[in-house]
């Protein structure tokens, strides 16, 4: 997730913005139908294992009945198909408008197992429904959390997912029938791991994306030699049909187990939203030939679609879903970002749900093979969390927040930090490493934000008559920062041009609009933040398009944009459905 100063458009960035990427079909394009179906089928196969195996891991670890497992897989595939299509086409404010494949979320493995053990499928369904509300709230007011849900927090939480789930996965390595040889489990797991690593490390291009599928297939073949892969289950499954009715309903008793688990579910839901934020930003970067500023309305839509998927998952009694990062790699490799591919993936997922024979092939995969497959994915997820933190730039503050929070999570997960106190706090909520470490990171980040030098702010009507008050406000700000008269003129000029841009973009609105201007000193320079009503086009994109000598100025607003490029050292424009935030940095 990006925040106010994490990505800046400097004067030298125009060259990067003008570079064209190897994109054959952009998001708005319509590729030939055979190509659309072919890529849709490939993405479906790559993501199908996660959709099916994740519910299998949870239900098996909780010793749930086979009827519920079949129901959970069936409904998960249908919901994943529906939400994948919605992500592509965007219904109102729901959906990103990009190819974002949805599937069962691995982040919920640990808390879902606990819910099933504590209260069964009905308790799990109720917790998923309630926690999905928080995703809708986050999507609607995403701009309010931009300073707290930072890359440092999200990266730390993602790393802790692996720490939390790994003990469960390692336990599955030895879950085999008693009538098989003792060496069957380690051999099957080792072969699966070596195959995945071999493909991932040595294969080139698009072949690398088949590493996981190749590992599961080879591991299953080896395990069948020891009698671990039960072909009779596949043979018994019908080619077409639906599972036995096993809808668990909702547990509305709201017993103590519900209140103990609710904070953990809400927190993991936020983690899933953070993951969706990252995927929705990444897919935008690989879906256009020319670099564009991030459209945060699309990010909000992606989170809202994620919330819709979780709501439907809870109502139907299956595990929550989230976006799969695989699609970003596939899009970058193939150069095809057309939305129709996402719709095709959704249709294929729904079709798979009604062909039990194919899902039975995946559900019959032995636990040691599944555990080996998940171990590799969790290792990669840990690295993804590291990258998110490092790419945001690690200074001593961010390093301390991440490192301290991570080890607090590890300690709580392993019950070695004052277990007599932590174990009983809030019903044992902090015994979950991801919850403990994530809350620590958020609380420290909140402390840093609250103890920052106070921002000076002023709220005015969005009108040219506000200029005198802005000038006075900035003069007082410069005086407090002990800068000279030249800085006053530069800040006032930059603010004038920004106000003119906001005024011109808001000219079609009937209602009177307001905006808030915040000023603060950071690293010896001035940072101005304008929070106002929606702007029609993105300021960063227009700056890139206006690169080069001024030959002719079409209107006053374009002149303001050109002047702003020279007055501010960087401009960052975040566009949300109901709010626009323009952040300027002016060097002292």
Burial-class residue 550 by CB neighbours within 10 Å (0-12, 13-18, 19+): exposed
pLDDT in the model for residue 159: 81
Nearest to 415 by CA among 426, 428, 400, 406: 428
Measured in degrees and rounded to the nearest 5, phi and psi for residue 366 equal -65, 155
Pairing relation of β-strands 570-575 and 525-532?
unpaired
CA 321/CA 307 separation, integer angstroms: 9
Angle at 286 between CA 282 and CA 287, to 5 degrees: 110
Residues 400 and 515 in one domain: no
> What CATH number corresponds to the domain at position 490?
3.30.565.10
Whether 12 is in a domain gets the answer no
Output DSSP code: residue 11. G
Residues 217 and 362 in one domain: yes
CA 78/CA 84 separation, integer angstroms: 10
**Domain termination site, one of 433, 449, 465:** 449
Q: Is 587 helix (H, G, I), strand (E, B) or coil?
A: coil
Residues 285 and 391 in one domain: yes
Q: Residue 373: give the domain boundaries.
A: 22-170+181-449
What's the full length of the chain, in residues?
Answer: 588
Whether 175 is in a domain gets the answer no
Residues 32 and 116 in one domain: yes
pTM reported for the whole predicted model = 0.66
Residues 431 and 470 in one domain: no
Residues 243 and 369 in one domain: yes
Residues 51 and 70 in one domain: yes
Residue-by-residue DSSP string for 296-359? HHHHHHHHHHHHHHHHHHHHHTS--EEE-THHHHHHHHH-B--HHHHHHHHHHHHHHHT-HHHH
Burial-class residue 454 by CB neighbours within 10 Å (0-12, 13-18, 19+): exposed
Residues 475 and 444 in one domain: no
Angle at 578 between CA 577 and CA 582, to 5 degrees: 90
Residues 503 and 415 in one domain: no
Residues 6+ apart with CB under 8 A from 55: 69, 72, 73, 76, 104, 318, 319
**Domain termination site, one of 416, 449, 482:** 449
pLDDT in the model for residue 80: 92
CA 485/CA 489 separation, integer angstroms: 7
CB distance 297 to 140 below 8 Å: no
Whether 65 is in a domain gets the answer yes
Alpha helices in 226-316, H assignment, sequence order = 231-236, 256-285, 296-316
Whether 1 is in a domain gets the answer no
Whether 375 is in a domain gets the answer yes
pLDDT in the model for residue 237: 72
pLDDT in the model for residue 33: 85
Whether 15 is in a domain gets the answer no
Whether 521 is in a domain gets the answer yes
**Domain termination site, one of 449, 477, 492:** 449
pLDDT in the model for residue 6: 38
CA 66/CA 72 separation, integer angstroms: 10
Residues 286 and 374 in one domain: yes
Q: Chunk the chain into consecutive blocks of 10 residues (it has 588) and report each block's average pLDDT, rounded to whole numbers.
A: 38 41 75 82 74 84 86 91 92 88 82 87 92 86 73 78 77 75 86 86 71 82 82 76 85 83 81 76 77 76 91 92 77 76 90 83 79 78 76 80 90 81 64 79 86 79 84 88 85 83 61 76 82 60 44 45 66 72 79
CB distance 172 to 367 below 8 Å: yes
Residues 6+ apart with CB under 8 A from 232: none
The number of folded domains in the chain is 2
Residues 263 and 236 in one domain: yes
Q: Is 571 helix (H, G, I), strand (E, B) or coil?
A: strand
pLDDT in the model for residue 305: 92
pLDDT in the model for residue 206: 62
Measured in degrees and rounded to the nearest 5, phi and psi for residue 94 equal -110, 120
Q: Is 123 helix (H, G, I), strand (E, B) or coil?
A: helix
pLDDT in the model for residue 551: 38
CA 263/CA 131 separation, integer angstroms: 9
Q: What are the b/e assignments for 328-364, b being 16+ CB within 10 Å?
A: bebbbebebbbbbbbbbbbbbbbebbeebebbbbbbb
Give Dmax (Cα) for the chain: 85
CA 564/CA 542 separation, integer angstroms: 11
Residues 429 and 520 in one domain: no
Whether 13 is in a domain gets the answer no
């Amino acid at each position: 997730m990006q925040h106010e100063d994490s990505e800046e458009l400097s004067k030298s960035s125009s060259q990067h913005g003008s570079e064209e990427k190897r994109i054959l079909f952009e998001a708005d394009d319509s590729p030939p139908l055979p190509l659309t179906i072919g890529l849709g089928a490939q993405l479906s196969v790559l993501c199908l294992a996660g959709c099916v195996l994740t519910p299998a891991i949870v239900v098996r670890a909780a010793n749930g009945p086979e009827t519920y497992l079949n129901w959970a897989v069936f409904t998960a595939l249908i919901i994943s198909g529906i939400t994948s299509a919605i992500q592509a086409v965007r219904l109102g404010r729901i959906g990103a408008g990009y190819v974002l494949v949805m599937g069962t979320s691995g982040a919920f493995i640990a808390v879902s197992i606990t819910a099933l053990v504590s209260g069964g499928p009905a308790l799990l369904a109720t917790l998923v429904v309630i926690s999905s509300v928080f995703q809708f709230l986050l999507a609607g007011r995403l701009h309010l959390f931009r300073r707290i849900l930072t890359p440092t927090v999200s990266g730390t939480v993602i790393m802790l997912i692996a720490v939390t789930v790994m003990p469960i996965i390692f336990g599955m390595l030895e879950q085999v029938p008693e009538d098989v040889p003792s060496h069957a489990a380690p051999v099957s797991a080792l072969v699966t791991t070596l195959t995945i690593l071999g493909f991932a490390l040595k294969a080139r291009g698009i072949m690398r994306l088949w590493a996981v599928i190749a590992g599961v297939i080879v591991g299953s073949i080896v395990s069948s030699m020891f009698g671990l892969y039960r072909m009779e289950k596949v043979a018994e499954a019908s080619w077409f049909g639906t599972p036995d009715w096993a809808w668990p309903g909702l547990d509305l008793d709201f017993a103590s187990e519900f209140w103990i688990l609710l904070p953990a579910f809400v927190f993991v839901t936020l983690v899933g939203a953070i993951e969706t934020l990252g995927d929705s930003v990444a897919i935008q970067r690989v879906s256009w030939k020319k670099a564009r500023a991030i459209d945060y309305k699309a990010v909000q839509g992606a989170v809202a679609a994620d919330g819709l998927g979780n709501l439907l998952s809870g109502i139907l009694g299956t595990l929550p879903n989230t976006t799969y990062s695989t699609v970003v790699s596939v899009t970058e490799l193939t150069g095809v970002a057309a939305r129709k591919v996402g719709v095709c993936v959704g249709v294929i997922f729904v079709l798979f749900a009604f062909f039990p024979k194919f899902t039975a092939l995946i559900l019959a995969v032995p636990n040691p093979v599944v555990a080996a497959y998940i171990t590799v994915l969790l290792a990669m997820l840990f690295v993804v969390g590291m990258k998110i933190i490092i790419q945001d730039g690690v200074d001593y503050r961010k390093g301390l927040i991440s490192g301290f929070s991570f080890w607090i999570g590890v300690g709580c997960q392993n019950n070695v930090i004052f277990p007599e106190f932590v174990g009983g706090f809030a019903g044992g909520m902090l015994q979950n490493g991801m919850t403990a470490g994530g809350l620590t990171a958020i609380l420290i980040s909140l402390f840093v934000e609250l103890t920052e030098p106070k921002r000076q702010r002023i709220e005015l009507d969005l009108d040219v008559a506000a200029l005198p008050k802005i000038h006075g406000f900035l003069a007082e700000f410069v005086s407090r920062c002990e800068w000279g008269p030249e800085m006053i003129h530069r800040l006032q000029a930059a603010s004038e041009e920004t106000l003119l841009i906001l005024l011109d973009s808001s000219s079609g609105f009937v209602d009177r609009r307001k905006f808030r201007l915040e000023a603060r000193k950071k690293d010896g320079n001035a940072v101005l933040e304008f929070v106002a009503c929606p702007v029609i086009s993105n300021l960063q994109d227009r700056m890139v398009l206006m690169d080069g000598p001024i030959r002719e100025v079409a209107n006053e607003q374009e002149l303001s944009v050109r002047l702003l490029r020279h007055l501010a050292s960087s401009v960052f424009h975040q566009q949300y459905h109901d709010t626009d935030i323009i952040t300027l940095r002016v060097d002292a």
